[in-house]
Structure 1
Amino acid sequence: MTTFGIIGAGNIGSQVARAVIALGHDVVIANSRDPETLSALIDDLGPSARAATAREAGAAGDVVVVTVPFGKYKDVPVEPLAGKIVLDTDNYYWERDGRFGELDRGEATTSGLLQQHLPSSKVVKAFNHITAAAITTDGSPSGTPGRRALVVSSDHPDAVAFAIELYDRIGFDAVDVSPLSESWRVERDRPAYVVRQDRAELEANLAKATRTI
């Protein structure tokens, strides 16, 4: 059993929590407010979940999921996540997050910036190009024709392997676009973003992507 620390209790964070709890794991989940504000969500998730602060969730997690608005990524606590695999679901929406020139110019990636912020962690891009509800409803057994595929990307092979296995257990194939410098291929507005696609279709859409839009 693995404990997942989830920093961000919005739609994606809540659905990842449901998915990993269904696999038999525990969850410690945080939002940007007080843990007490998560009481209804914890009641819904059941006894395998508890609420905490972001720092506490990061410290408790064997693996940590970061799913906060991208503009707040520097608020993610650094020290509690050191040495841990960090699943990064974040996407850049400048209308919400403010402008990041290095992203607008195609000089950086969202997950690469999080990796810089968490230099001792093993950041892997995951769950960023799927709608929240589909995380728990769109999976299917391995080998199913047309099985949905999702991207992983990391500078750390063990983080990639973990994410691929997690995807498979939840019900998804995986396409690896490591290292993180290539993860722009599945960022917002690219052909592979929030589209239901099998492995071959995802590979084709990733190949169609252009660096700036």
Structure 2
Amino acid sequence: MNASPHLAVLGAGHTGPVLAKVLTEAGYPVSVAASGDPERIALILSFLAPGAKPRWAADAVAEAEAVFLALPLHRFAELDPAGLTGKIVVDTMNYWPPTDGVQVAFDDPVRGSSEIVQAALPGARVVKTLNHIGYHELDDSRRPSGSPGRRALGVAGDDAGAVATIAAILDRVGYDTLTLPSLAAGRALQPGGAVFGADLTLDRFSQEVSS
């Protein structure tokens, strides 16, 4: 993958524009797509994520090397799996029944939500991260590499190359990362997990995930 791969963010609600902002400011070319005409999100991006390009979803996905899912979970079923074949797909979504209601496709006591995403996108390389930090913190918590107290994020996936790529992107954005060996291990990052919403340094983050 290129040193500055093209990235796509699908979703322009709370998380998408903030994610586009931090990725763009880290030096990545970023496209953002919502559910319809990109002109509908052009103004909000010009204020919240200057430099990010509004695109039709199919075009954003086609030109991206990694695609960040910042969708409401109930919109996930609308994605075209074929378009994501061969892509790194970063799942930032959460299944949270108290807020979103029960969603049958994700109401699985055995598999984590990103494992379900991977099963639905068999040609993609799914990585789970950014679901355990609030969108309002994602911008403010960034710190340069080596800064005391730098916040850590977990990065989980079954494809080691994809995990390493996304970990490097997050490091450049402003976070230390702990890589987890599988999407199954990424259940520790979900709501109710020890590190969900926790502002921890890498050592503390590692201890909590391992305990």
SS in 2 for 1:99: coil
Q: Which residue of 1 aligns with 2:140?
A: 137
**Map 1:24-35 → 2, pairs under 5 A:** 24-35=27-38
C-alpha separation in 1, matches of 2:5 and 2:192: 33
**Map 1:163-174 → 2, pairs under 5 A:** 163-174=166-177
Q: Which residue of 2 aligns with 1:207?
A: 210
Q: Which residue of 2 aligns with 1:116?
A: 119
Letter in 1 for 2:30: V
Report the TM-score, using the length of structure 1 for normalisation: 0.89
Identity value in percent:
29
SS in 1 for 2:168: helix
Letter in 2 for 1:118: L
Question: Does the CA-based 8 Å contact 1:139-1:172 persist in structure 2?
Answer: yes
Q: CA deviation at 1:100?
A: 4.4
Question: Does the CA-based 8 Å contact 2:69-2:92 persist in structure 1?
Answer: yes
SS in 2 for 1:87: strand
Question: Does the CA-based 8 Å contact 1:5-1:59 persist in structure 2?
Answer: no
Which among 96, 101, 109 is matched to residue 106 of structure 1?
109
Q: Which residue of 2 aligns with 1:78?
A: 81
Q: Which residue of 1 aligns with 2:164?
A: 161
C-alpha separation in 2, matches of 1:103 and 1:207: 25
C-alpha separation in 2, matches of 1:104 and 1:77: 21
Q: Which residue of 2 aligns with 1:211?
A: none
Q: Which runs of 5+ in 2 are unaligned?
A: none
C-alpha separation in 2, matches of 1:117 and 1:28: 23
Question: Does the CA-based 8 Å contact 1:7-1:29 persist in structure 2?
Answer: yes
Cα RMSD between the aligned structures? 1.8
Question: Does the CA-based 8 Å contact 2:17-2:45 persist in structure 1?
Answer: no
Question: Does the CA-based 8 Å contact 2:106-2:116 persist in structure 1?
Answer: no
Question: Does the CA-based 8 Å contact 1:58-1:77 persist in structure 2?
Answer: no
Q: Which residue of 1 aligns with 2:152?
A: 149
Q: Which runs of 4+ in 1 moved over 6 A?
A: none
Does 2:194 match 1:191?
A: yes
String of CA shifts for 1:58-93, please: whole Å, max 9, x gaps. 112121111112232221221221101111100012
Q: Which residue of 1 aligns with 2:60?
A: 57
Letter in 2 for 1:116: A
SS in 1 for 2:162: helix
C-alpha separation in 2, matches of 1:78 and 1:104: 20
Which among 116, 130, 144 is matched to residue 127 of structure 1?
130
Q: Which residue of 2 aligns with 1:91?
A: 94
Change in 2 beyond 3 A, CA 1:103/1:205: farther
